């Protein structure tokens, strides 16, 4: 956990962010500044800065993030029309919050 990290604060329940889904590994919530009608963030509870910082022990976490995506897409009824999954990596890749997250966007 990183004291100053916004997503760590969200994970700890220190903001008014409502979770769409939560388990031991990850939380899912709506992007505060949505680019699409459906724009959700799948966020691991473990603080990992970006895809660049993945270590072998993170394999499970990343797999769970990706495997959760179709579940969430089905819940929002966008699985059939389709959706985009996106990892932004570092500033040049559009990453703004430096805590790993997977965007799920549709519409």
Find tokens 């680019």 and name the residue.
35
User: Considering only 7-15, 20-28, 63-71, 80-88, which stretch makes contact with Zn ion by CB under 5 A?
Assistant: 7-15
Find tokens 């699985």 and name the residue.
79
When the beta carbons of 37 and 93 are compared against Zn ion, the nearer one is 93
Q: Which of residues 68-107 bind Zn ion (CB under 5 A)?
A: 99
> Any idea what DSSP says for residue 30?
E
Beta strand pairing call for 26-30 and 21-22 = antiparallel
Tokens in use for 94? 């559009």
When the beta carbons of 2 and 90 are compared against Zn ion, the nearer one is 2
Point out which residues bind Zn ion (CB under 5 A).
2, 5, 7-8, 47, 99
Residues known to be catalytic: 101
């Amino acid at each position: 956990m990183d004291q100053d990290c916004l997503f760590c604060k969200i994970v700890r329940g220190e903001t008014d962010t409502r979770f769409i889904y939560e388990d031991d590994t990850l939380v899912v919530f709506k992007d505060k500044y949505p680019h699409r009608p459906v724009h959700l963030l799948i966020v691991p509870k473990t603080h990992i800065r970006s895809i660049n910082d993945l270590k072998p022990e993170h394999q499970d976490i990343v797999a769970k993030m990706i495997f959760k995506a179709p579940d969430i897409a089905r819940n929002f009824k966008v699985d059939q029309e389709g959706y985009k999954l996106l990892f932004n990596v570092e500033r040049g890749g559009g990453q703004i919050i430096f805590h790993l997250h997977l965007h799920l966007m549709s519409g």
